[in-house]
């Protein structure tokens, strides 16, 4: 393995170990020392790969976001595909037993006010995650599945806010049924 490959592998390992720590403990309860110890590298090595803890967190958010993307082909009406997307999100949360919630939600709640660059990156990634929802709501309106007079922006935003609230609640209560109740609310109350 060449030097570049070793370097890239070590950076990836630091990110993977650090993401786990951030996800479990949060920003304020994870130090650079914790990250390098988890990855079994000297502390100075951290600064070879990252300019600062904030730079690390930004790259961790990006890696987390990229890992959540999947190339899926969904079939059915726009509303059926929207339901499938949200069910996939639910299933992802259930796979981790709701213990950790969403890393981006966790971080935004903890450091959203104090770290403008990180807050902006999270907002951008949330916009990316919300785009398929918005696209499917638009398609559903165009196909007559949703009343066309409902505001596309407000409806898509309401779906995302409902879902994010359910994720936070499921984490706080350790009640996975919260996610099913959110799906019911979205498809039987918000969209009708």
Contacts of 108 (CB under 8 A, 6+ apart): 119, 122
pLDDT digits (tens, 9 = 90+) for 73-103: 789 999 999 999 999 888 888 877 667 788 8
Contacts of 81 (CB under 8 A, 6+ apart): 74, 75, 136
pLDDT of residue 72 exceeding 80: no
Q: Of 135 and 147, which is predicted with more confidence?
A: 135
Q: What is the pLDDT of residue 1?
A: 54
Contacts of 4 (CB under 8 A, 6+ apart): none
Q: What is the pLDDT of residue 71?
A: 60
pLDDT of residue 62 exceeding 60: yes
Phi, psi of 72 (to 5 degrees): -120, 145
Mutual angle of helices 177-185 and 152-173, in 10-degree steps: 160
pLDDT of residue 68 exceeding 90: no
pLDDT of residue 164 exceeding 90: yes
Q: What is the pLDDT of residue 101?
A: 84
- pLDDT above 90 coverage of the chain, percent: 52
Specify the residue for token string 């060449």: 2
Q: What is the pLDDT of residue 31?
A: 94
pLDDT digits (tens, 9 = 90+) for 98-138: 677 888 888 888 886 788 889 899 999 999 989 999 999 99
- Which of 170, 169, 135, 181 minimizes the C-alpha distance to 155? 135
């Amino acid at each position: 393995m060449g030097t570049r490959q070793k370097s890239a592998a070590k950076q990836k390992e630091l990110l993977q170990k650090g993401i786990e720590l951030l996800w479990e403990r949060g920003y304020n309860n994870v130090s650079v020392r914790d990250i390098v110890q988890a990855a079994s590298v000297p502390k100075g090595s951290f600064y070879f790969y990252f300019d600062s803890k904030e730079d690390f967190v930004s790259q961790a958010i990006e890696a987390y976001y990229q890992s959540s993307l999947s190339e899926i082909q969904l079939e059915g009406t726009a509303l059926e595909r929207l339901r499938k997307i949200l069910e996939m999100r639910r299933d992802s949360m259930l796979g981790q037993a709701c213990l950790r919630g969403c890393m981006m939600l966790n971080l935004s709640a903890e450091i959203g006010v104090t770290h403008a660059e990180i807050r902006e990156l999270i907002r951008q990634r949330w916009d990316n995650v919300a785009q398929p929802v918005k696209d499917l709501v638009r398609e559903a309106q165009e196909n007559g599945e949703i009343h066309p007079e409902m505001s596309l922006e407000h409806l898509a935003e309401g779906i995302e806010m409902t879902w994010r609230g359910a994720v936070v609640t499921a984490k706080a209560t350790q009640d996975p049924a919260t996610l099913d109740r959110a799906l019911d609310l979205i498809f039987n109350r918000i969209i009708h």
